Amino acid sequence: MNTVKPESIALFCLTPGGVALARELQKALPMTCFTREALLTEGFLPFNGGFGESLRQAFRDYRALVVIGATGIVVRTLAPVIEDKLSDPAVVVIDERGQHVISLLSGHVGGANALARYLAGVIGADPVITTATDVNDLAALDSLAQQLDAGMPDFRTAVKTVNQMLVSQKRVGLWWDDASLYAASDCDTRGLIPVRSLDTLSDLDALVCVSMQAELPPLPVPVFRLVPRRVIAGIGCRRDTPFSLINTLLHRQLAASGLDPLALRGIGSISLKQNEPGLLELAASLRVPFQVFSAEELRPYEHHFPGSDFVRQTTGVGSVSGPAAWLMSQGQLIGETLREQGVTITLGVSH
């Protein structure tokens, strides 16, 4: 599974052999290729300020880097800008003869392991993967979280703990509150023990629970919750409604449905609100996309919801939050619409 966006890959090569290999890789994946001025050819860009400076800048600008060259050079060049495996881009190194494709940085969350395997398949090379879970043919909690697009409380500690338990041959269970909702069959769960009921956990050392619910019943083993981001919120509000009010009401609405705020995937409204400060701040604070729809896009769905003449006169449609949530969730709504202090919030579940 290639978890890296193809359009965000930068490739660097330093020799004629590297350019030739890069051309082969370009046929398989769209990527921006950089090389020295002396080797420039069609489809390649020159280094900007030299190889080192260009590579470090690409580390900040791209989701994945592929370098055809020596591993040592890449390590020394990137050392000053490496920060965190949960946010750094994937880095893959390939030798000039195309014999080995090495996953160097951000193997799981960044997608370097998946990218290395894919590129190795393209050129018939050996993928070099050194992460402990992979070499032991086990799933990894951070990889599972990425496959599910899931958040997790105290993510870093949970990943370290669970992955270490897996490679230490501890019995780690995996329970889904609704496997069909999360496409469980498409996920890598090697080494995790399927759990059908929370009543039968006595032989486990820990349990990974995949659920959007904010609370689980008390359980007799350490529990690590993966919260898939599936919930969307359609929101309507008066002009200049404070962020604090919208934020409070949204969290209240989520709590009323028993949903963890980590499950929020995005918020939506009408295009008239695309620059509404409170909504923009809400999306930024929750780190979710803010999507807007025109009145024409919302109008076919307004008949599902109570309308307001005032809202219609202001926006061109009788209801905002409900139709926005309907569009974002394909009609899979949750609970009743909240209406309070000029704010309306409708929740839905996006598949």
231-349, CATH topology level: Nucleotidyltransferase; domain 5 (3.30.420)
Query: Quick count: other Cβ atoms within 10 Å of Cβ 309?
Result: 8
- 253 contacts 264 by C-beta, under 8 angstroms: no
Tens digits of pLDDT across the chain (351 residues): 333 444 599 999 999 999 999 999 999 999 999 999 999 999 999 999 899 999 999 999 999 999 999 999 999 999 999 988 878 999 999 999 999 999 999 888 888 999 999 999 999 999 999 988 888 888 899 889 988 999 998 888 999 999 999 999 999 999 999 877 888 888 889 999 999 889 888 899 999 999 999 999 999 999 999 999 999 999 999 999 999 999 999 999 999 999 999 999 999 999 999 999 999 999 999 999 999 999 999 989 888 888 777 777 777 787 899 999 999 999 999 999 999 999 999 999 987
Which residue is it, tokens 């599902």?
304
- 212 contacts 228 by C-beta, under 8 angstroms: yes
66-87 in b/e form (b: 16+ CB < 10 A) is: bbbbebeebeebbeeeeeebee
| CA distance from start to end of the chain | 19
Q: Classify domain 141-228 at the CATH class level.
A: alpha beta
Whole-angstrom Cα distance, residue 61 to residue 139? Answer: 29
Q: What is the pTM of this model?
A: 0.77
Q: Who contacts 160 (Cβ-Cβ below 8 Å, separation ≥6)? A: none
Ranges in the chain annotated CATH 3.40.1390? 141-228
Whole-angstrom Cα distance, residue 82 to residue 188? Answer: 28
Ranges in the chain annotated CATH 3.30.420.180? 231-349
